[in-house]
Chains A and B, each alone.
Chain A
Amino acid sequence: MYKNFFRYLISAIFLLGFSVNSNADFKVGFVYVGPTGDHGWTFQHHEGRNAVEAAGIKTTFVESVPEGADAERVIRQLAQSGHDLIFTTSFGYMDPTNKVAKDFPNVKFEHATGYKREHSNVSTYSARFYEGRTLLGHIAGKMTKTNTIGYIASFPIPEVIRGINAMTLAAQKVNPNIKTKIVWVFTWYDPGKEAEAAQALIDQGADVIMQHTDSTAPVQTAEKAGVWSFGQASDMQRFAPKSILTSIIDDWAPYYVERAIAARDGTWKQQDTWHGLNEGMVAMGPYNSAMGADLVKEVEQLQKDLASGKVHSFTGPIYDQKGNILVAEGKVADDGMLAGMSVYVKGVEGDIPK
Chain B
Amino acid sequence: MSLDISFIGILIGSIMASSVPLILAASGELITERSGVLNLGVEGMMIIGAISGFALMVITDNLFIAVVGSMLSGVIISIIFGFLTQSLLTNHVATGLALTIFGIGLSAMLGKNFVGIPGKEFPILFSSLRESIPFFGPILFGHSIVLYFAFALPFLTNYFLKKTKLGLVVRAVGDSPVSASNQGINVILVRYCCILYGGAMCGLAGAYLSLIYTPQWIENMTAGRGWIALALVVFATWSPIKVLIGALIFGGITILQLHMQAIGFRIPVQFLSALPYLMTIIVLVVISRDSRKIKLNTPTSLGRIFYKEK
Contact = CB atoms under 8 A, between A and B. Distances in A.
Contact of B261 (A6, A184, A190, A203): A184
A204 B262 contact: yes
Interface in A197-216: 197, 199-201, 203-204, 206, 215-216
Interface in A163-202: 181-187, 189-193, 195-197, 199-201
Contacts of A185: 258, 273
Nearest to B259: A200
Contacts of B7: 203
Interface stretch (B184-192, B211-219, B239-247): B211-219
Interface residues of B, number: 44
B280 interface: no
B255 A191 contact: no
B218 A192 contact: no
B220 A3 contact: yes
Given A5-B101, A35-B108, A238-B118, A190 B223 contact: yes
A113 interface: no
A37 to B, nearest CB: 4
Interface stretch (A51-59, A296-304, A331-339, A346-354): A346-354
A187 B220 CA distance: 13
A39 B216 CA distance: 11
Contacts, number: 123
Nearest to B213: A192
Contacts of B220: 3, 35, 189
A37 B218 contact: yes
Contacts of B268: 353-354
B112 interface: yes
A184 B261 CA distance: 8
Contacts of B115: 37, 39, 43
Nearest to B98: A2
A204 B221 contact: no
A150 interface: yes
A284 B173 CA distance: 61
B263 interface: yes
A353 B101 contact: no
A183 B263 CA distance: 9
Interface string A140-179: 0000000000100000000000000000000000000000
A351 B262 CA distance: 12
Interface stretch (B10-18, B24-32, B154-162, B285-293): B10-18
B270 A220 contact: no
Contacts of A3: 101, 104-105, 108, 220
Interface centre among B111, B258, B268, by most chain A C-beta atoms within 10 angstroms, is B258
Interface centre among A7, A182, A185, A196, by most chain B C-beta atoms within 10 angstroms, is A196
A349 B216 contact: no
A281 interface: no
B221 A191 contact: yes
B269 interface: yes
Given A2-B97, A2-B100, A191 B254 contact: no
B266 interface: yes
Contacts of A199: 14, 255
Interface of A: 2-3, 5-7, 10, 34-35, 37-39, 43, 150, 181-187, 189-193, 195-197, 199-201, 203-204, 206, 215-217, 220-221, 238-239, 349-351, 353-354
Given A196-B18, A196-B255, A200-B261, 15 more contacts: A2-B101, A3-B105, A6-B102, A183-B261, A189-B218, A191-B218, A192-B18, A192-B21, A193-B223, A193-B254, A204-B263, A217-B214, A239-B118, A350-B264, A351-B266
7 contacts: A6-B102, A189-B223, A192-B18, A196-B18, A200-B261, A217-B214, A350-B261
Interface of B: 1, 7, 10-11, 14, 18, 21, 97, 100-102, 104-105, 108, 111-112, 115-116, 118, 209, 213-216, 218-221, 223-225, 254-255, 258-259, 261-264, 266, 268-270, 273
Q: For the complex of A and B, list the 8 residue pairs with the smallest distance between their C-beta atoms, beginning with the closest.
A: A200-B258, A353-B269, A37-B115, A190-B223, A204-B262, A3-B104, A2-B101, A35-B219
